[in-house]
Amino acid sequence: MRSTISRNRLWAGRGMSAVAGLFLLFDSVIKLLVIPPVVESFTRLGLPVHLARGIGALELACLVIYLAPRAAFPGAVLLTGFLGGAVLAHVRVGDPLLSHVLFPVYIGALIWGGLLLRVPHPSARRLQELVPHSAPLEV
């Protein structure tokens, strides 16, 4: 039996996923280009600048996996791990909580929220059972 979702829910999910995806795309591209703000940020966070391209490529690969409909759940898991590393880096240097430390958490919420809203898949139903107060998929 195939689950269906409403048009509004689908577009809300796509919108949330697009916002997160566009940010991650931008973030990965600037790391691949190693522009001056990336150099400054890596230096401030205590990360070797020569890792910027590799981190940008990893971020882009995780994003591509997330955006592939059949691989969206593994992609979301990979991006969650990636964003967890960003949280750790900001906590380590004592960055402000709401603007720096929790920003990757906000992106993660968009990733998972968008996925739960846009994917009519049995895995989404099982995941929704774990998330309290999430609206059930329409059948």
What is the model's pLDDT at position 78? 95
What is the model's pLDDT at position 70? 83
Query: Which of 21, 34, 87, 24 has its CA nearest to residue 58?
Result: 24
CB contact set of 106 (below 8 Å; sequence gap of 6+): none
Per DSSP, the chain holds a count of helices (H) and strands (E) of: 6, 0
3-class secondary-structure state, position 133: coil
What is the model's pLDDT at position 139? 36
10-residue averages of pLDDT along the chain (139 residues): 76 96 98 98 97 98 93 92 97 95 97 88 64 51
Neighbour count for residue 110 (Cβ, 10 Å): 19
